[in-house]
Amino acid sequence: MKMLTDDETIEALSDLLYERLNELDSYKFKSGFVNGEIFAYKFCLVMSELDKIPKNARFASNAPKYYIEFSETKEKLLERTIHEIVGKLRNLLTYPREEGYFMGERTAYVECLELLERWEKAAEYGLDFDIEKVFPLT
């Protein structure tokens, strides 16, 4: 598995969040599970400040450049994102798995963590464990 740089991780996370939100937004009927996913993806988007990046922005060298002023360095932003998601998941472990909304949240956060796990500095910032074992989805 190729490890990602700060920029690549931010781009991949942004793409994942917007892709999932667009997909879930197209559902006519939104179950508790889907609403939980939507909440979690939106939380990640805003908390990581990726909502500042236009939806179709690309980071490739030949793409138009978007100069986004984050409140902190990209490394700090990714570190904070990991810690916030881990905290949310720890809290969600106290809720029953049968509750659709909370399982939707948990599923979305785990997906985001699995992407962040590919960041080259993830282990340095506490993402050095088996996500599926610590935060099981089944």
Higher pLDDT, 28 or 122: 122
Instruction: Count the alpha carbons within 13 Å of 126 in the hemisphere toward its beta carbon.
Output: 13
pLDDT-derived band at 52, boundaries 50, 70, 90 = low
The letter for the amino acid at 57 is: A
Bridge partners, residue 128, by sequence: none
Coil, strand or helix: which one is 31?
Answer: coil
Write down the domain spans for the chain: 6-128
* Prediction pTM value: 0.85
- Give the other-Cβ count within 10 Å of 60's Cβ: 7
Coil, strand or helix: which one is 49?
Answer: coil
Tens of pLDDT, residue by residue over 60-115, are 444 444 455 666 788 988 999 999 999 999 999 998 878 899 999 999 999 999 99
**Of residues 111, 131, 115, 137, the one with CA closest to residue 40:** 111
Q: Given this model, what pLDDT does residue 59 score? A: 46
Burial class (CB in 10 A: 0-12, 13-18, 19+), 69: exposed
